[in-house]
Amino acid sequence: MSTAVAVSHSTEDDWKQPSRGMVGMACLIAAESAIFIIFVIAYIFYTGKSLTGPTPREVLDLPIFSTVCLLSSSITVHFAVHQLRAGKIGQCSAWLAGTVLLGGIFIASTAKEWYELIYHHGLTIRTNLFGTTFYSLVGLHASHVIAGLIMLSLALIFSLQGKVNAHHAERLEVLSVYWHFVDAVWVVVFTVVYVLGR
Amino acid sequence: MVVSMNSGMVDRFFANFDQQAGFEHGVRRLHATQMLATVFDPSSTNIFAPKGTPAQSILGLSVLVLGICAGIFLIVAGLLLYTIIRYRSRPGDENHEPAQIYGSNQVELSWTVIPILIIVALFLASARVIFVTQKIPKPATALDVVVIGHQFWWEYRYPKLGIVTANELHVPVSESTHPTPTYLTMSSADTDHSFWVPRLAGKTDLIPNKVNTMWIDPEQAGLYLGQCAQYCGVQHAKMLIRVYADTPEQFSAWVAAQQHVALQVPSAAAGREVFLHNACVNCHTVSGTEARGIFGPDLSHVASRATIASGSVPNTPENLRAFINNPSDIKPGVLMPAMHLNDHDLDAVTQYLSTLR
Amino acid sequence: MATHTPRRHGGVFDVLQEWITTVDHKKIGLMYIGYALIFLVVAGAEALLMRVQLAVPNNHFVSPQTFNRLFTMHGTTMVFFVGMPILFGFGNYLIPLMIGARDMAFPRLNAFSFWISAFGGFLLYFSYLAGSGLYGAGTAPDVGWFAYAPLTSRVFSPGHSTDYWTLSVLLSGVGSIGTALNIVATALTMRCPGMKLSRMPLLVWLYVVTSCIAFIAVSPLTAAQIMLVIDRYLGGHFFDTQAGGSAVLWMHFFWIFGHPEVYILVLPAFAFANEIIPVFSRKAIFGYPAMVAATVAIGFISMGVWAHHMFTVGLGPEANAFFTFSTMVIAVPTGIKIFNWLATMWGGSIRFATPMIFSIGFLFQFLIAGLTGVMLAASPFDWQLGNSYFVVAHFHYVLVGAILFMIFAAFYFWYPKITGRMMSETLGKWHFWLFVIGFHMTFDFMHVPGLLGMPRRIYTYEADRGWGGWNMIVSIGAIFQTAATLIFVYNLIRSYYKGEEAGPDPWDAWTLEWSTSSPPPSYNFAEIPTVHSRRPLWDLKHPDDPDTNYE
Ligand code: HEA
Ligand code: HEA
Ligand code: CUA
Ligand SMILES: [Cu+2]
């Protein structure tokens, strides 16, 4: 046939498609949400079904402070993106540093909580259904926080080294969307584990 | 497997094959004539030959669904056949393309709406059978049986009659004038199983930590076969079900016999000693003795059963002996270990068990 | 082997290195396809062994343990390491070409996804060597492809074979999500100028929907496998019935994945049909918008029907009724598709080339498979049929009669594009007819023992049940299928060397992949094309009456 490579090539006006990174992140978030939903369902399904103690009421305290930290880190990362877009690299680094700090506090307080549960209350992942579902759900979330923190720290390092400029704003924004997602998941986990499940 | 057997066991292993000749059709079945015969063998587990209310109402629905689906098939397959014949490309067609049609809302609407109507009809018919089978009150005359699935055998308990038995379920025939259905309350001691006797009812799973119920009401006396229908481990295939639908007289005789404490025939005293002084007692119960194990089937009346090892082989002294000697010969993968009894003890214990009518 | 020197490169290691490090969507696609074909033969051989064992009652060809491993490996391999990779392979190869792009959106993620899935398949079979770890001889997993709890717990499955199973499925799931993400991002952000969503080829549309189902459906499987890993390695109790855990929860999680999974597998087959049937009927697809809408509807409905695999679990009459209804509803959008394909052929000028006869086989067989599905959906009927050979017949009718047939069709259709050479039509016809005969012998007659009360997953059966003859016919059919498959493999290899030159557009087709040379250059298109309708090449071939006038 004579048709090979003969399609016309005139470009159409304003041919715009969504951003690749954003679409990818949206897909990732869809998939991750499904994973979290399954863990949350398992948690809810098993609340109050443990055959032995300890129960959530006996050992869990409301992690108000770390929750506030994590949620405010969503605001700081938002400003970091905002500043980067405006070309203010220094400001951006500062906000990023704040974000990493707040996220770090969250992880540290989770670590402390687990330490107390394990060594003072004798609750491990093997103890009972509560232990199994609690550590897996909270742990799954914490691992996402850690992943986010690693990427944010990398961004921070790059921006401190001055390797970042306004062209990277979109990438940082994709990262910030991930971070917002991790925060949103925490709201659900907090509600289910510490409020409803107690 | 063979590696771990000493030579004596290997001999017995093969000897065993010959003994089972009646059961082992094996490759010999390959003869052409016999083959044909099996094709047309009536099946003892045919879902189209129901003998109980649940199976009967399922059949009614099945015929309806099959009919509707056959109708749809004939129409659509007919259209397909017509299209490929009528619109095949003929010589000369290469030069011009057929008229291009991009769609038509009316036709597309019609083949959306008609299926919806069919679906609604099918759903209503199904829902009716679901509710008449799963949501009707239990009559006072009903018999209660607790069914517990084990890897790879069935435990049956009759709480109101004080009977515990295994693998062969006895229930009364249920006459339409005087219905005596049997209600099964089911659970599992280990993995998932499923109770399926096609001519009596659909299947219901037995799941650990969950209690399910179903009912059966055989309308004709006789033996109904079935088998475990949920993969439960190595010997899922040999977890066969036998349901005896007894006439009222037969049933009360059976109940009376089962309610007796296990017989203590003096001539079998030696075998009883062997039984009671081996690990058998850890896994098996024989009423009236200190054997109270619950891991294996209750043996108080084992001789009254037609088969052993969950329907695997007929309950003959030879099979019993072979089974006790090395259960895996008859049912590879069973959870009863070979007990390594010497020939004398083996004979004695076989004789003892054969007296437990 | 090592002495053989390929034309353009230094040596076999260079070639190897090129393929291992490649991020080109075409190469990755081909690796997916090749990898799936190998597993097809492996899992097919496993099926053959099962059929030998089941041909006659009370057979001793394999031990019960071996048989249980065979069906577990066969099912797992076919679903996760044949079905998924082959479809992703075609998707990878075709999508950028069909939307006029030079590669996938994330080429490196693409390579990563492939290799992680490949590693999963390797792990699954590695269990044959290492399944019981230090205990001695190797063993494969024997828990069935849906691995119901509590059979998978340490108590009932000691050793490591189940660990290999769960890890390999977990990895394959991660790979699938990666590829699905890539497909969606590619289709949404890389289309050539003028290709609005409403002009995207149906194949691409269906792949997008499939991928979206994958996000929502494969992830629960991943989550459930993580829980199983926690149970088995860390001593958790998710599915530990002795600590109050629930066996039914696993069933829900598995089937929330498992049901949509079957549509993930079948939608790409539909996608091939959407491209092949119009070309060989010489007509535009009938009702493009309805096809897209029906696909999206299938995607949504498929999320709400999973418990039709659990009608015998004791969900209660209300739930049984609900899932009966939701399951049957799927027949409506699926019916729309069948009817639209028929309408596409209606009034056309049908050419019976090998891709088309496989597609017609698909239409016929999918119709029957769907109708047996509707029978299973009537839950009381399912109380009889569930877990019997009727179910096995139903799903092979779809998986083999529909999906495998469309995969064969896709091979014959796109092979010229991929290699630049035509596959032999004569061998193709032999392949088709032998496979059709074998298929119908095997899977038509397989319904009967199910109706006669034969449960699945039994390594042998009693002689007095009247199942023997039927099983013999079923087994003989498998031999025909094997012969046909061997012809197909031979055709693939022979045509690569001896096939007729294909040229860029051997089928006189209409989508963009046919506008570039065969095989396409590594950059796909010398210049990125611009399109004005769904069938850019039609417009070009018929300037007097282009599609743009009608859409
Ligand atoms: C790609 C694979 C695929 C596809 C497409 C389907 C499609 C369907 N399946 Fe199937 N199914 C499987 C693969 C598939 N299935 C597998 C693998 C299993 C077993 C898993 C296991 O246990 O190992 C299974 C098991 C399975 C069960 C559980 C059986 C059991 O274990 O007890 C049920 C029950 O409802 C079911 C139903 C259906 C229905 C209603 C459809 C529908 O989508 C079909 C719709 C199509 C049509 C109906 C035909 C075309 C329509 C028309 C011509 C319109 C007119 C029709 C009407 C109005 C009715 N399937
Ligand atoms: C895509 C999916 C797919 C495909 C294509 C197939 C294809 C086939 N399947 Fe499979 N099957 C499943 C998916 C699939 N199956 C699943 C999910 C299960 C459930 C598992 C479970 O219960 O856990 C199952 C279970 C299953 C069973 C039930 C086992 C049981 O319950 O006990 C049987 C029995 O007959 C069977 C047979 C076959 C046969 C004969 C083919 C044939 O169509 C195969 C034809 C192909 C070939 C034959 C390959 C050609 C081979 C060669 C070229 C090599 C030649 C080699 C030698 C001669 C050694 N399959
Ligand atoms: Cu019990 Cu299968
Ligand atoms: Cu399904």
Look at C347 and B101 and tell me if their CB atoms are within 8 Å. Answer: yes
Tokens for C494?
């022979």
Q: Is B273 on the interface with C (CB under 8 A)?
A: no
Q: Which residue of C has its CA nearest to A36?
A: C223
- Cβ proximity of C379 and C308 under 8 Å: yes
Q: Is B170 in the pocket of ligand 3 (CB under 6 A)?
A: no
DSSP 8-class letter at B29: G
- Cβ proximity of C458 and C27 under 8 Å: no
Look at C387 and B229 and tell me if their CB atoms are within 8 Å. Answer: yes
pLDDT > 70? residue C2? no
- The Cβ of residue C508 has, within 10 Å, a number of other Cβ atoms equal to 17
Ligand positioned closest to the Cα atom of C142: 2
pLDDT in tens, B174-232: 988 889 999 999 999 999 999 999 999 999 999 999 999 999 999 999 999 999 999 99
Confidence of residue C132 (pLDDT cuts 50, 70, 90): low
Helix (H) or strand (E) holding C93: helix C84-98
Tokens for C119?
């590693």
Q: Is B90 on the interface with C (CB under 8 A)?
A: yes
CA dist., res. C81 & res. C114, Å (int): 11
pLDDT in tens, B315-336: 999 999 999 999 999 999 999 9
pLDDT in tens, C422-441: 999 999 999 999 999 999 99
Q: Is B228 in the pocket of ligand 3 (CB under 6 A)?
A: yes
Instruction: Output the pTM of the full model.
Output: 0.93
- Cβ proximity of A136 and A73 under 8 Å: no
First vs last C-alpha separation in chain B? 35
Q: How far is the CA of A29 from the centre of ligand 4 (A)?
A: 26
Burial (Cβ within 10 Å: 0-12, 13-18, ≥19) of residue B205: buried
Q: Is C184 on the interface with A (CB under 8 A)?
A: yes
Query: Looking at residue C8, what is its pLDDT?
Result: 52
Confidence of residue B37 (pLDDT cuts 50, 70, 90): very low
- Phi-psi domain of B230 (left: phi exceeds 0; alpha: psi -120 through 50; beta: other): beta
Q: In what order do the strands lie in the sheet with B143-150?
A: B163-166, B153-158, B143-150, B182-188, B212-216
Residues of B in contact with C59 (CB under 8 A): 26-27
Look at B192 and C470 and tell me if their CB atoms are within 8 Å. Answer: no
Between residues C224 and B91, the one the model is more confident about: C224
Q: Which of C63, C242, C287 sits opposite B103 (nearest CB)?
A: C287
Burial (Cβ within 10 Å: 0-12, 13-18, ≥19) of residue C18: middle
B:C CB pairs within 8 Å: 312
pLDDT > 70? residue B353? yes
Angle at CA of residue B333, ends B331 and B334, nearest 5°: 65
- Cβ proximity of A132 and A44 under 8 Å: no
Query: Looking at residue B136, what is its pLDDT?
Result: 83
Between residues C139 and B6, the one the model is more confident about: C139
The full length of chain A comes to: 198
pLDDT in tens, C54-98: 999 999 999 999 999 999 999 999 999 999 999 999 999 999 999
| Nearest atom within ligand 3 for CA of residue B193 | 1
Q: Is C407 in the pocket of ligand 2 (CB under 6 A)?
A: no
ipTM computed for the complex: 0.92
- Cβ proximity of C491 and C428 under 8 Å: yes
Which residue has a Cα nearest atom 2 of ligand 1? C262
Helix/strand/coil for C193:
coil
The set of chains that have 3 or more CB pairs under 8 A with A is C
- Cβ proximity of B177 and B186 under 8 Å: no
Q: How far is the CA of C78 from the centre of ligand 1 (A)?
A: 18
Confidence of residue C499 (pLDDT cuts 50, 70, 90): very high
CA dist., res. B317 & res. C358, Å (int): 58
Query: Looking at residue C176, what is its pLDDT?
Result: 94
Query: Looking at residue B92, what is its pLDDT?
Result: 79
| B38-47, B247-256, C413-422, C485-494: least confidently modelled range | B38-47
pLDDT in tens, C367-389: 999 999 999 999 999 999 999 99
CA dist., res. C50 & res. C60, Å (int): 11
The full length of chain C comes to: 551
Nearest to C358 by CA among C422, C294, C402: C402
pLDDT > 60? residue C42? yes
pLDDT > 90? residue B4? no
Region B21-27 average pLDDT: 37
Helix (H) or strand (E) holding C540: helix C536-541
Amino acid making up residue C212 = C
Q: Which of A7, A19, A34 sits opposite C530 (nearest CB)?
A: A7
| B295-309, C94-108, C127-141: least confidently modelled range | C127-141
Q: Which residue of A has its CA nearest to C541?
A: A3
Burial (Cβ within 10 Å: 0-12, 13-18, ≥19) of residue C500: middle
Q: Is C105 on the interface with A (CB under 8 A)?
A: yes
What is the residue-averaged pLDDT of chain B? 87
Mutation target to probe the C interface, by most C beta carbons within 10 A, among A118, A132, A133 is A132
Q: Is C236 on the interface with A (CB under 8 A)?
A: yes
Cα-based distances in Å from A28 to C211, C222, C275, C361, C518: 12, 14, 29, 37, 35
Confidence of residue C548 (pLDDT cuts 50, 70, 90): confident
Query: Looking at residue C10, what is its pLDDT?
Result: 61
First vs last C-alpha separation in chain C? 54
Between residues A133 and B92, the one the model is more confident about: A133
pLDDT > 60? residue B162? yes
Burial (Cβ within 10 Å: 0-12, 13-18, ≥19) of residue B289: middle
- Phi-psi domain of C422 (left: phi exceeds 0; alpha: psi -120 through 50; beta: other): beta
- Cβ proximity of C228 and C168 under 8 Å: no
Q: Is C247 on the interface with A (CB under 8 A)?
A: no
Look at A132 and C537 and tell me if their CB atoms are within 8 Å. Answer: no
Q: How far is the CA of C412 from the centre of ligand 1 (A)?
A: 27
Query: Looking at residue C1, what is its pLDDT?
Result: 37
Query: Looking at residue B41, what is its pLDDT?
Result: 56
Region C85-113 average pLDDT: 94
- Cβ proximity of C379 and B126 under 8 Å: yes
Query: Looking at residue C5, what is its pLDDT?
Result: 43
Q: How far is the CA of B230 from the centre of ligand 2 (A)?
A: 19
pLDDT > 60? residue B14? no
Look at C148 and B203 and tell me if their CB atoms are within 8 Å. Answer: no
pLDDT > 50? residue B39? no
pLDDT in tens, C286-340: 999 999 999 999 999 999 999 999 999 999 999 999 999 999 999 999 999 999 9
pLDDT in tens, A8-53: 444 456 788 888 999 999 999 999 999 999 999 999 999 988 888 7
Look at A125 and C236 and tell me if their CB atoms are within 8 Å. Answer: yes
Query: Looking at residue C20, what is its pLDDT?
Result: 85
User: CB neighbours of B343 closer than 8 A, spacing ≥ 6?
Assistant: none
Q: Is B327 in the pocket of ligand 3 (CB under 6 A)?
A: no
Q: Is B193 in the pocket of ligand 3 (CB under 6 A)?
A: yes
pLDDT in tens, C337-365: 999 999 999 999 999 999 999 999 999 99
CA dist., res. A83 & res. A76, Å (int): 11
Q: Is B165 on the interface with C (CB under 8 A)?
A: no
Residues of A in contact with C177 (CB under 8 A): 31
